[in-house]
Amino acid sequence: MVRLQKFLADAGVASRRAAEQFISEGRVAVEGKVVTEPGTKVDPAATQVTVDGRPVRPKRKLYIALNKPRDFLTTRNDDLGRRTVFDLLPLDWINLFPVGRLDRDSEGLIFLTNDGDFSLKLTHPRYGMTKTYWAFVVGRVEQSDADRLTKGISDGAETLKAEAARVVSCNNSHSVVELELAQGKNREVRRMFEVLGHEVEQLKRVQIGPIKLGELPVGKWRTLTDPEIRSLLRGAK
């Protein structure tokens, strides 16, 4: 027996958080009766579960690594008709959802899955999963500037902080800085450099936990191996 929200996440209906919202909204029925308590237990092999009247069946779990190009959204649909990462995947993988976010102007490594537990452990701040980025910045950034980011800087009411930061290269016109983050706040890297007085021209995520982007071509995907999945879950504190 498993909790209803876990069953829905495992079936690829939504992330666990979204599944809890579905339940509280009265959209989920168990054996024909609407259930509004997320903690309800079900037997994945025998219990009949529906969402909005449609039967939910467990699905094979998929774990995909994608090298997201710039100008693609990490969402399933866009009302403005802009391109999304799902345009790069097989049509029958519509049940997947992005693990975390990577904004439209950013590129690099992102995972997609239909496993809600996997997504939660890689995105919730309490698990401390680190992500590594290369920021291509206008102007000269010294290591002393990068060190400020590891100590934490204020942006309005928020404190933004990198776990590690090093200057890869720099000259008077441009710099490349590698940052390791664990917080996952909105536009965090760009905001950090704005505080320092620099514009980020290009932002590329090159690593999530122990998994590196490597030689995966832009716009292409691959499945994560079982050892890679285990290493990611071990890395969730």
What CATH number does the domain containing 87 carry?
A: 3.30.70.580
Q: Could you give the CA distance from residue 9 to residue 117 in angstroms, rounded to a whole number?
A: 7
Our answer to whether residue 87 is catalytic in this structure is no
In total, the chain counts a number of residues equal to 237
* Cα distance between the two ends of the chain: 26
- pLDDT surpasses 70 at 100: yes
Say which residue the tokens 């191996």 belong to: 225
Q: What is the CATH number of the domain that holds 177?
A: 3.30.70.1560
Count Cβ atoms below 10 Å from residue 54 Cβ, excluding itself.
8
- pLDDT surpasses 70 at 237: no
- Residue range of the domain that includes 15: 2-55
Shared domain for 122 and 215, answered yes or no, is: yes
- pLDDT surpasses 80 at 170: yes
Shared domain for 136 and 188, answered yes or no, is: yes
Shared domain for 35 and 78, answered yes or no, is: no
pLDDT confidence tier of residue 162, bands split at 50, 70 and 90 = very high
Shared domain for 112 and 88, answered yes or no, is: yes
- pLDDT surpasses 80 at 92: yes
Lowest mean pLDDT among 88-97, 132-141, 226-235: 88-97
Give the chain's domain count.
3
Residue type, 72: F
The predicted model scores a pTM of 0.77
The residue from 79, 103, 117, 226 that is catalytic is: 103
Could you report the per-residue pLDDT of 53-71, keeping only the tens digit for each?
A: 999 987 778 999 999 999 9
DSSP state at residue 75: S
Shared domain for 20 and 70, answered yes or no, is: no
As a whole number, mean pLDDT of residues 164-189 equals 94
Does residue 158 or residue 45 have the better pLDDT? Answer: 158
Question: Nearest to residue 114, comparing CAs of 84, 87, 93?
Answer: 93
Shared domain for 161 and 182, answered yes or no, is: yes
pLDDT confidence tier of residue 161, bands split at 50, 70 and 90 = very high
Does residue 223 or residue 18 have the better pLDDT? Answer: 223
Q: What is the CATH number of the domain that holds 10?
A: 3.10.290.10
Q: Residue 194: its pLDDT value, please?
A: 95
Mean pLDDT of the chain: 92
- pLDDT surpasses 90 at 126: no
Shared domain for 144 and 188, answered yes or no, is: yes
- pLDDT surpasses 70 at 127: yes
Shared domain for 120 and 138, answered yes or no, is: no
| Tokens standing for residue 3 | 């909790």
Shared domain for 220 and 119, answered yes or no, is: yes
Shared domain for 140 and 176, answered yes or no, is: yes
Shared domain for 184 and 225, answered yes or no, is: no
**Sheet of strand 49-51: strand arrangement:** 33-34, 28-30, 49-51, 54-55
Could you report the per-residue pLDDT of 216-236, keeping only the tens digit for each?
A: 999 999 999 999 999 999 987
As a whole number, mean pLDDT of residues 100-123 equals 92
Shared domain for 174 and 74, answered yes or no, is: no
